[in-house]
Amino acid sequence: MGFLALLFGFGLTDENFNLILTKPDNVPIVALIFLLIFFTWFSMREAVLNDRRLAAGEPTVEEDEEDRVWTWPDLVYTELIAMVVVTVVLIVWSIVLEAPLEQPANNAQTPNPSKAPWYFLGLQEMLVYFDPWLAGVVLPSLIIVGLMAIPYIDKNPKGNGYYTFNERKAEVTIFLFGFVVLWSSLIVLGTFLRGPNWNFFGPFEYWDIHKLEALTNVQLSELIWVQALGMALPEHWLPREIFGIILTIVYVAVLPVALAKKGLSKYYEKLGPTRYYVTVMLFLSMLSLPVKMLTRWLFNLKYVVSIPEFFFNI
C-alpha cells in the first residue's frame, strides 16, 4: 500500500498521469484500490490471529464472548456515526468533483477510448487476448457457474463464520489469485494504462491519439509451420491447426487426469472424481487468462487455434 501511495502521490506531480488519476470517473477507482488492499490485509491479519488462537487451543475471535457487543447501543451508535461520516464525504465529494457528464451522444463522434464501466473493464481487457465469444460469453459464464458451484464443490465445514487461512489454504489462495491478482489487475490495466485506440500507455506517458503500435500478431500455426519448420501453411484447416488442437486437448482433457494421478492426488481423493474435475476445469479456465496474456506479450501470439472458416478461434 505504501508503494501505491508513493506511486499515485508522485503521479499527481506528472501532468499526464495527473489527468488520468483526477478524472472524476477514476477517482473512486483509486479509492477502491486502497480499500481492496486494506481489507485484504485486514482479513489476512484476522485469519493469522485466529490460526494462532486455534493452534493454542483457544476459541476464535468470533467465538470469544468477551469480544461481543450489544446491538443497542453499541452497534446502532457505530452505524449512526458511520452514516454521518459517509454523508459528509459524499457531500464534499459532490462539491469538489464535477459530475463526469459529457456531451450528448453523437454517432459521428464516439469517445476514444470508449471504455466500459470500471466493473466491466476486466471483460473489455480480456477481449485483447481472447475471441469475443470466449471473452464475452464463455469465460463470464464460467465465472458465474463457478461461483454458483462453490457450495457444492467445497464442503469443508472449517472456516465458516470466522477468518482462517491454515484451514483453507488452497481455497483462500485461489480466490486471492483470481480476484485480487487477475480481475483487479485487469481493471487497473484497463483504467490507467489503456488509452486511445485501446493502445498500451505507460503511467507517465502522454495519451497520443495518433500513436501507432507496430504489432504483428501471429497464430500458433504460423509460429510452428512457418517460423519453426520453414514450411508454408497447409490450406486445409485441420492440418494447419492440428498443433493448436492437440495442445488444447492436452490442456483441457489430459492435464486434469495427469494432475489427479500426480500433483493433486490428495485433492482427487478428498473431492472425488466429479467435484475434482469440475474444480480443475474451472481453475484451468482461470489460469488460461494469465497464460494467454504472457504469450501475447512475449510472442505476440493471438490465437492457439484459428479456424476462420468456422469463425472459431481460441
pLDDT in tens, 224-259: 999 888 888 898 999 999 999 999 999 999 999 999
pLDDT in tens, 290-305: 999 999 888 888 899 9
Kindly indicate the confidence band of residue 5, based on its pLDDT and cuts at 50, 70 and 90.
Answer: low
Lowest mean pLDDT among 22-26, 105-109, 141-145, 212-216: 212-216
> What residue type is assigned to position 203 of the chain?
P
CA distance 161 to 168: 13
H or E stretch including 21?
helix 15-21
**Could you tell me which residue, 10 or 201, shows the higher pLDDT?**
201
| Contact predicate 280/259, CB 8 Å | yes
Residue 200 to residues 73, 80, 124, 180, 293: CA-CA distances in angstroms? Answer: 53, 45, 14, 21, 13
Whole-number percent of the chain with pLDDT over 90: 22
Name the E strands within 65-188: none
- Write down the pLDDT at residue 82: 95
| Contact predicate 298/213, CB 8 Å | no
**Kindly report the CA angle at 294 between 292 and 300, in degrees rounded to 5?**
85
Kindly indicate the confidence band of residue 66, based on its pLDDT and cuts at 50, 70 and 90.
Answer: low
- Write down the pLDDT at residue 153: 83
- Write down the pLDDT at residue 65: 65
Grid cell digits, residue 145 = 457457474
H or E stretch including 173?
helix 169-175
pLDDT in tens, 10-25: 777 778 888 888 888 8
Tell which residue, 223, 239, 219, has the closest CA to residue 305: 219
In the predicted model, is pLDDT for residue 268 greater than 80? Answer: yes
Grid cell digits, residue 28 = 473512486
- Write down the pLDDT at residue 243: 94
- Write down the pLDDT at residue 80: 94
Across 145-161, average pLDDT: 82
Grid cell digits, residue 22 = 483526477
| Contact predicate 255/275, CB 8 Å | no
Residue length of the chain = 314
In the predicted model, is pLDDT for residue 95 greater than 80? Answer: yes
Q: Which residues contact 18 (CB under 8 A, 6 or more apart)?
A: 11, 12
Residue 267: HSE in the Cβ half-sphere, 13 Å Cα cutoff: 21
Kindly indicate the confidence band of residue 48, based on its pLDDT and cuts at 50, 70 and 90.
Answer: very high
| pTM for this prediction | 0.83
- Write down the pLDDT at residue 101: 77
- Write down the pLDDT at residue 239: 92
- Write down the pLDDT at residue 14: 78
Q: What is the DSSP letter of 65?
A: G
